[in-house]
Amino acid sequence: MYFNSRSEAGQKLAAELSNYRSENVVVVALSEGAVVIGEEIANILQCRLTLLLSENILLPGEHSPIGTVTQDGNFVYNNMFSTGEIEEYYSEFHSYIEDQKREKYAQINRLLGQGGLLDAALLKDHIIILVSDGLKSGISLEAATEFLKPIRIKRLIIATPIASVQAVDRMHILADELHCLGVTENFINTNHYYNDNNLPEHAELIEKIKRTFVNEKV
């Protein structure tokens, strides 16, 4: 499945989620591209939109990330790899992985300086809709659910326009409900599924997030 833009995809997902308009909901975007999609959902549901940042770590010669660093500094390993494979990779690339953790965390902090850290208290006792603009694997979902573990939430929903079969399998395990507009066996890259890949600057995305706080229903 292909989309003209992330806004179009967001409108389609928002239509599927419109029954949550009367509920206490927070939309959590998992990337900057997902903010554009999440804005459409938040506008329909009249709820808050926020951003949970993470950065993947790729090992030399590998196409799948070994893990991801979240904005609270936690590191989550990619469940595509077995425990034995992770131990082997970590033994061989220990220094590289630790350096990458620090570097990726610093990158996140530079962006957070422009937008602020996601307040966990904002999510407490709410229905959480995790939004991605495309899921090749479930690693960003794993990182997000780790972030959410200490927080008492009512329900976890995952929404994405496009995902791989593997990512959908993880969604079924991690979420109470999922909304995926298209599933593909050979996921190429997220941008491939959109005709328009022009994204607003980070500062403009933060303004989009702030506007949802103003428009939130009382």
The pLDDT of residue 117 is 54
The pLDDT of residue 210 is 80
| Residue 195: HSE in the Cβ half-sphere, 13 Å Cα cutoff | 8
Whole-structure pTM value: 0.86
Q: Which domains does the chain have, with CATH numbers?
A: 6-52+118-215 (3.40.50.2020), 56-114 (no CATH)
The pLDDT of residue 168 is 95
Q: What is the mean pLDDT of each run of 10 residues along the chain (218 residues)?
A: 96 97 94 94 94 87 85 83 89 92 84 64 94 92 90 97 95 96 95 95 83 62
State the burial class of residue 209 (Cβ atoms within 10 Å of its Cβ: 0-12, 13-18, 19+). Answer: buried
Q: By C-alpha distance, which of 57, 19, 55, 62 is closest to 157?
A: 19
The pLDDT of residue 191 is 96
The pLDDT of residue 174 is 94
